[in-house]
Every structure is written in structure tokens, then in C-alpha cells.
Amino acid sequence: MNAITAPQGFVAAGVHAGLKSSGKLDLSIVATADGNPVSAAGVFTSNKLAAAPVQVSRAHLADSGRTAAAIIVNSGNANAATGTEGATHAEEMCTITAAELGCQPSEVLVCSTGLIGIPLPFDLLAAGIPQVVAGRSPTGGEAAATGIMTTDSMRKEIVHTGSTFTIGAIAKGAGMLQPNMATMLAFVTTDAEVEPSELQSLLQHAVDHSFNRLTVDGAQSTNDTVLALASGLAGPADPLELQAALDAVCYDLAIQMADDAEGATKTVIIRVEGAADDTQGLHAARSVANNQLAKCSWYGQNAYWGRVASEVGASGVDFDPELFSVTYGGIVTAADGVAVGYDEAKMAEYFEGRRIEITVTLGLGDGAGEVITTDLSHAYVDENMGKS
């Protein structure tokens, strides 16, 4: 759908540089149409084993005063745990891109996704970057979205049309779901006019309420990166509308990731209400979302609420064993801390769907938190045994 090039002022492309033996696209660019830098923002993994491209992009945003003219991205190799050589390679990717575009290297951001600990096949990238830059166009958004995919089964794209502005976004991955293909990446463009510092604030808020509430397996990749570019060509936007739109775009991409998470059969939304405060609500929801036993029960289409309640009790949040309730899609399975009879046929029917919503009410306060996750299936184990 060419989502990333839907806002005014952006071009994109995707090519096969040779990193993927399958012959699929593995090198993408998103750039401003005129090659000039615009407002840019980034949110990066907090993993201390942050990959070389994460470190380079962070530095470039700082050096350029949060502006950028392009994002260059390869799939098929994470360039993580690759030492000083890896850092040089990430920097070189920006230098080559900048030379082709006619901007400064510090105005290029770089991402990589793939296997950890394997040296980057840099020659392939050095040859591929001029090709992908040359191929950039307003209709290259779909190819760019394809070129960042690893084991994703479908492209993840969305366009939001606001009253005065457009937002386009693409993403790949679902947490560190894959054995050798790690990482979530998301790139957002808009033609709204927004200062770099405001764009950073808007993006951070959107990420906190979307990708940071998506957990497939509790692991944070070495390469997780979300970047935003704002061309300003549509003029100023209402800040509240822009924030809401950016939040919605990122939330939609997070759900797309969970829906496409390989090995998963369910997208599960855990909501904890009545917590002492929002922090506790979110922490409890996250604990349930990362509980292997609960995840297996969802795969088994089994409303075993005891697992869910036990995990909340173990999570450390304020908890009264006589006050909690647990519902699945509105079907009450426990109330006031004890089992409640329910229509098993109705529950079985509910579990036939892809989306499962579980709400735990603690009865203690007004705090609430929500996390998006998936089940734990045989296919997940297959995917992550690392033999494939």
C-alpha cells in the first residue's frame, strides 16, 4: 500500500543485496524526497548489548540535532555482538548512503535485523546501497516494507489520514520471536510540521502505549528501534490530534505484530483493572503476559483462571485474595477470589477466535494496565529450537 510514502515528501525503495539466500528483498531505504534533513525522533532498545546500528543511530540523532534525511535498513544480519568492526560497518552504511543522497552521514539513521554475533557481509551492502538509493521513489513504500521483513508472513503497514496531516508507518517482527531473526523495527513518516523535540516526545508516548506493551516472550532485542521523520510539508497539526493519531498507528502495528507472530495461534490482551495504581496494573498485566503456564493454557483454549490469578499474586503488586475476579471475553470465571460456574460451550466458542481478552479486576483502586501478548504453542518451540 506504499504506507511509508503516503505523507508528502517521502520516497522509499527495497532491493535484494544478497544477505538473504532466499533472494528476497533485504535492503530498504526511507528518505526525504529532496534529500534534505527533516525533524527526526528515535526510541531504541535499552538492552546493554545494543547492536552497532543502534549505537550509530543514537549518536547521529544527537549529532544532527534530531534531524535526518534517510533511514537505511538491512535484514538478514543484526550486526550485534560484532565488536569494533561492526561499529565501523554501521557507520560506513550511513557514509555510503549520505554520499549517494548528498547529505551528511550524521543525517542518516541505520538499522539491522537478523542473526546476532555474525559479522556483517559488508561488501554486499556496499554494493547494494547505491542501488537502493537510486531506486527510491514515491511508490517504493511497499518494497521498503518488504525489505525489512525477516520471518514475518505479511507486510505490516498502516496509513492514517488526519484532518491536516497524514501518517504512514511500516514495521517488522514481533518481539524477539524468532530464533535467528530477532528484533522489532518500526518506521513512521508524517507530513505534519513538528519540531524535533516535540516529535521525540510524541513518539516516546506512542511507543510506551503500543510496542512497549507488546510482549511475545519477555525478551528485548539487541536491535529494537522505532524511528519517525516529519517532513512538515502539510504545515502545523493539532498536537492532541497528532498524538492520538501516532498512538493509534503504533498500537495498530503492535497488534499486527502479535497477529502475525509466528508460532502463535492467539493474540491475547491482558487487562488488569482495580489495581492500586496504573504502574501496578501494568506490572501485573505484564507478569501474566510473560507467564509460560498461562500462555500454554491459552494455546490449549483452556480458561484456567487459577494460573492467571496465581501469577498476579506472585507479581508483587497489591493483591487481596478475597477481592479479585477474572473474566475471559466478559465471561466471569472467578469472582471474590473463588470459582464461578460458567457456560463451557460459550467459553469454548470464545476460544475459537484469534483474539482473547482477559480482564483481571483487583478491587483495590483505580489503576489499570493493558498488555498485548500471544500464546505459547508447539510451533513456537519449533521456531525457536534453532534447528530450522
Catalytic residue IDs: 183
Which stretch, 21-29, 65-73, 95-103, 179-187, contacts its own copies (CB under 8 A)?
179-187
Position 385, amino acid: M
Helix ranges, the chain (H): 52-63, 83-101, 122-134, 141-147, 196-208, 239-260, 278-289, 292-299, 305-314, 344-350, 378-384
The residue from 75, 113, 291, 325 that contacts its own copies (CB under 8 A) is 291
Instruction: Give the span between the Cα atoms of 304 and 261, in whole angstroms.
Output: 23
Per CB under 8 A, 261 contacts its own copies: no
Q: Which residues of 243-253 are buried (b: 16+ CB within 10 A; e: fewer)?
A: bebbbbbbbbb
Q: For cell 514515491, what's the residue? A: 138
- Which of 145, 146, 92 lies closest to 120 in space, CA to CA? 92
List the one residue from 67, 210, 212, 290 that touches its own copies (CB under 8 A).
290
Of residues 65-124, those binding its own copies (CB under 8 A): 80-83, 115-118
Name the helix (H) or strand (E) containing 326. Answer: strand 325-328
Pairwise CA distance, residues 79 & 85, whole Å: 9
Contact 365, 277 (CB under 8 A): yes
Q: Closer CB to its own copies, residue 329 or residue 337?
A: 337
* Least distance to its own copies, CB of residue 251, Å: 23
349 lies in the binding site for its own copies (CB under 8 A): no
Find the binding residues for its own copies in span 204-243 (CB under 8 A): 217-222
CB of 223 to its own copies, least distance (A): 9
Sketch the per residue contact string, 127 through 166, with its own copies: x for CB under 8 A, - otherwise: ----------------------------------------
Q: Does 356 bind its own copies (CB under 8 A)?
A: no
Closest separation in Å from C-beta 153 to its own copies: 19
Residue 48 or 163 with smaller CB distance to its own copies: 48
Grid cell for residue 284: 501485573
- Is 359 an interacting residue with respect to its own copies (CB under 8 A)? no
- CB of residue 253 to its own copies, shortest distance in Å: 21
Asked if residue 290 lies in contact with residue 215, where contact means CB atoms within 8 angstroms, the answer is yes
Of 72 and 288, nearer to its own copies (C-beta) is 288
The contacts of residue 345 (CB under 8 Å, 6+ apart) are none
Whole-number Å distance between alpha carbons of 151 and 174: 10
User: Interface with its own copies includes 385 (CB under 8 A)?
Assistant: yes
Binding residues for its own copies, per CB under 8 A?
A: 45-50, 80-83, 115-118, 176, 179-180, 182, 217-222, 290-293, 296-297, 299-302, 304-307, 309-314, 318-322, 334, 336-339, 376-378, 380-387
